[in-house]
Amino acid sequence: MSWRTTALMREAWLNVTSNRWRTAGAVLALGAILGSLAALELRDANELRNFQANFVRSGGYVALGLPPAGGSADAARCEAMNGQPGVVAAGSVIRPTPTTFETAPGILYQRAAVTWGVLRVWDPANRAAANDSRQIVIGRVMAGETGLRPGSFVTPRGEGPILVTAIVDTTRRNPTAARWALDPVPPTGSVDECWVEFVPGAFEAGLASLPAQLTTGDKEAVARPYIRRDEFTRDPAAEFVARPQRNGWPLAGSLMAGLFALMAWFRRSELGLYLAIGTPRSLLMAMLAVEALLVVALATVLAVAYAVAIDEALHHTPRWSGTWIVVRTVGSAALLTLTAAPLLAVLVVRGSIANLLKDR
Amino acid sequence: MSLELRNVTHRYRRESAPVLRDLSFVFPADRSIAVVGPSGSGKTTLLAVIGLLTRPTEGDVLIDSEVVKEREVADLRTRLFAWVFQTVNVLGARTVTDNAMLVLLARGVAQVEAREAARDALVTVGLGALASRTASSLSGGELQRLCIASALASRPRFLLADEPTGQLDRATTDRVTQALIEGRPRGTTLIVVTHDPHVASQCDLTVALQDGQLAIGGETT
Ligand SMILES: Nc1ncnc2c1ncn2[C@@H]1O[C@H](COP(=O)(O)OP(=O)(O)OP(=O)(O)O)[C@@H](O)[C@H]1O
Ligand SMILES: [Mg+2]
């Protein structure tokens, strides 16, 4: 004959609700710990996400196709890669040549014949879409230096004035071209460079097949990543080992364990009473588990609110991935607490019941 | 139900002198027994051994002539014993009624029944009016009465009371002693540790604990 289940549940409920301050303190402390953990995870996830975005923006998935020494690579084939699966944009630089513009006398700027496709690779935001040989596009740095704007005219030495239709910002993906004047031309003949941006998953395969795509003669074209990947890629496994949570979790775990051990310590006479009236240690643990469940449930709500507030203020993680990270972190920590709390309490109240009763 | 100690020796540390020394005694069933003895003589220790809270270093506790085994202890504690601890242990944040119900609930008695028994016992000790107060708000004497009510409500076979009237005035002591001795349910053996000769004199039997041994009819201190 021992506790009925409902009576034991009620006991746990009343212990939690009647010790209002103790419960509030535990909820606050636990909520802060769980929330910090989640915030830490969010920060880490964000850092990775930002890195990824930055990597893409810097041309991490851009491949360069080059003609073989003494051979050629076909501009039409390069342009034709637009619209192929896994290809974001493709285009060629056909012929860069130094030119002096009357508009900026004495200063030597590069003038290059390019296809519209390459402008899209260099400046994904650039949607200037006209194709007229009487038009020119100016790199942003050159525009800054010369004061040229869309609607201005430039006059290359020995030619008539040409309308500037757009300023392209190539500083991220091809800083050199930012000081170029770019003549959009149709893709004909051999290229100097064929620029192809792939979607992230298609990059490796795309890079491997690029030479074959461009080769026309008997000499095979070459291809290489625009960014040297060995220097710029990240290794998720190594990062998992090195991440800050590696220290955060044990710290949070010790704090939570300490919290629950301390709570049990201050209740030893109370827990001793339960044991003295013959409550088996297993049932005492069950009761404490229910008490912990209530505290953890409240703390979880607090922790989620706390983590979300921090994230809103600092990172703005996309809603769904952020929610998932918070739920996953807080959830697993809460589960851990739920199992650890009753175990710790029973450890605290091991030994002589008579001694526990004397402690007040 | 009879309770017997057989060759019980208890020491708190291996090298220290024993608090109880080769003590054998049969507590007669259904009687009220006062245990007297100077402070530090081991009265609380004796009660803890009888009530299966402390396992003696040597010797056995027998209930109905059966040696109590370790694995039965928790169950026997619930079914047979009730306590009034010297340290008046209560659940401070809980109500007086909740505290008085505790032993019955631990025994698996239904909520309603337990509540009724607790109410009756609280009235018996004069705490009827304080039933819904929190235990921590009671005075020392009221706490002692709450513990007595809690013990009475559970109708134990063995009621072990350690200085239950230590903080009570004469009138309340009489009332509480009466509740304990005469008000205890039939078939309850009462073992009460007391310094109060008046309380001891109302019991069927007085035993004195001295030098780790029990002697019948000792002087109260
Ligand atoms: N947990 C313990 N560890 C070590 N010694 C203890 C422990 N509990 C009690 N003692 C010692 O055992 C002896 C008997 O203690 P006990 O509490 O049984 O005395 P008592 O007769 O109840 O005294 P009082 O009348 O003051 O309550 C005392 O000398 C005490 O110091
Ligand atoms: Mg004592």
Give the lowest-confidence range in A231-240, A287-296, B110-119: A231-240
Cα B43 to middle of ligand 2, angstroms: 5
Q: Of B200, B175, B187, B192, whose CA–CA distance to B124 is shortest?
A: B175
* ipTM, 2 dp: 0.91
pLDDT at residue B1 tops 90: no
Instruction: Quickly state the pLDDT bin for A135 (edges 50, 70, 90).
Output: confident
pLDDT attached to residue B221:
39
Atom of ligand 1 nearest to the CA of A352: 1
Please name the fold of domain B3-219. Answer: Rossmann fold (3.40.50)
Which amino acid would we find at residue A9? Answer: M
Structure tokens that stand for A84 in this block:
């192929």
Average pLDDT over residues A321-341: 83
- Whole-number mean pLDDT of chain A? 85
pLDDT attached to residue A246:
64
Cβ of B42 below 6 Å from ligand 1: yes
Which residues are placed with Cβ below 5 angstroms of ligand 2, an ion? B 44, 86
Average pLDDT over residues A122-128: 77
Read off the pLDDT of residues B157-172 as tens digits, 9 standing for 90 and up.
999 999 998 878 888 8
pLDDT attached to residue A200:
87
Hey, whose CA ends up nearest to atom 27 of ligand 1?
Answer: B39
| Alpha-carbon torsion, ordered A229, A232, A233, A238, to 10 deg | 130
Q: Which residue out of A5, A281, A288, A357 would a mutagenesis test of the B interface target, given it has the greatest number of B Cβ atoms within 10 Å?
A: A357
Q: Which residue of A269, A279, A353 is in closest CB contact with B53?
A: A353
pLDDT at residue B218 tops 60: no
pLDDT at residue A231 tops 80: no
Contact A7 B102 (CB under 8 A): no
Q: Which residue of A272, A278, A360 is in closest CB contact with B106?
A: A278
Give the lowest-confidence range in A87-101, B24-38, B80-94: A87-101
pTM: 0.77
Instruction: Quickly state the pLDDT bin for A320 (edges 50, 70, 90).
Output: low
Q: How far is CA A155 from CA A55, A105, A107, A134, in A?
A: 37, 10, 13, 11
Minimal-distance CA residue of chain B relative to A269: B89
The strand order across the sheet containing B20-27 reads B20-27, B3-10, B58-63, B66-67
Handedness of CA A55, A61, A67, A72 (dihedral sign): negative
Contact B106 A277 (CB under 8 A): yes
Instruction: Quickly state the pLDDT bin for B117 (edges 50, 70, 90).
Output: very high
Cα B39 to middle of ligand 1, angstroms: 8
Cβ of B18 below 6 Å from ligand 1: no
Contact A2 B54 (CB under 8 A): no
Hey, whose CA ends up nearest to atom 25 of ligand 1?
Answer: B39
Higher-pLDDT residue of A50 and A178 is A178
Higher-pLDDT residue of B150 and A228 is B150
Tokens 């625009």 found at: A226
pLDDT attached to residue A241:
66
Higher-pLDDT residue of A5 and A42 is A5
Q: List residues bridging with A225 in a β-sheet.
A: A63
Read off the pLDDT of residues A156-194 as tens digits, 9 standing for 90 and up.
888 888 889 889 999 888 888 898 999 888 888 888 899
pLDDT attached to residue A346:
86
| Alpha-carbon span B209 to B221, nearest angstrom | 11
The strand order across the sheet containing B189-193 reads B81-84, B158-162, B189-193, B32-36, B205-210, B213-216
pLDDT at residue A132 tops 80: no
pLDDT attached to residue A42:
82
Average pLDDT over residues A296-324: 81
Instruction: Quickly state the pLDDT bin for A52 (edges 50, 70, 90).
Output: confident
Instruction: Quickly state the pLDDT bin for A41 (edges 50, 70, 90).
Output: confident
pLDDT attached to residue A146:
87
Instruction: Quickly state the pLDDT bin for B152 (edges 50, 70, 90).
Output: very high
Q: In angstroms, what separates the C-alpha of B171 from chain A's closest C-alpha?
A: 28
Phi-psi region at A150: left, alpha or beta (left = phi > 0; alpha = psi -120 to 50): beta
Give the angle B136-B141-B147 at the CA atoms, nearest 5°.
70
Give the lowest-confidence range in A187-196, A225-234, A346-355: A225-234
The domains of chain B are located at 3-219
Q: Output the 3-class SS for chain B.
A: CCEEEEEEEECCCCCCCCCEEEEEEEECCCCEEEEECCCCCCHHHHHHHHCCCCCCCEEEEEECCEECCHHHHHHHHHHHEEEECCCCCCCCCCEHHHHHHHHHHHCCCCHHHHHHHHHHHHHHCCCHHHCCCEHHHCCHHHHHHHHHHHHHHCCCCEEEEECCCCCCCHHHHHHHHHHHHCCCCCCCEEEEECCCHHHHHCCCEEEEEECCEEEECCCCC
Q: List residues bridging with A73 in a β-sheet.
A: A215
Q: Which residue out of B46, B83, B89, B150 would a mutagenesis test of the A interface target, given it has the greatest number of A Cβ atoms within 10 Å?
A: B89
Instruction: Quickly state the pLDDT bin for B138 (edges 50, 70, 90).
Output: very high
Instruction: Quickly state the pLDDT bin for B220 (edges 50, 70, 90).
Output: very low
Instruction: Quickly state the pLDDT bin for A106 (edges 50, 70, 90).
Output: confident
Cβ of A351 below 6 Å from ligand 1: no
Higher-pLDDT residue of A322 and A141 is A141
Q: How far is CA A60 from CA A63, A229, A234, A335, B175, in A?
A: 8, 8, 12, 40, 90
Read off the pLDDT of residues B14-73 as tens digits, 9 standing for 90 and up.
889 999 999 999 999 999 999 999 999 999 999 999 999 999 999 999 999 999 999 999
Instruction: Quickly state the pLDDT bin for B219 (edges 50, 70, 90).
Output: very low
Instruction: Quickly state the pLDDT bin for A279 (edges 50, 70, 90).
Output: very high
pLDDT at residue A129 tops 80: no
Q: Which residue out of B78, B86, B137, B147 would a mutagenesis test of the A interface target, given it has the greatest number of A Cβ atoms within 10 Å?
A: B78
Ligand 1: which of B10, B41, B54, B192 to mutate, most ligand atoms within 8 Å of CB? B41
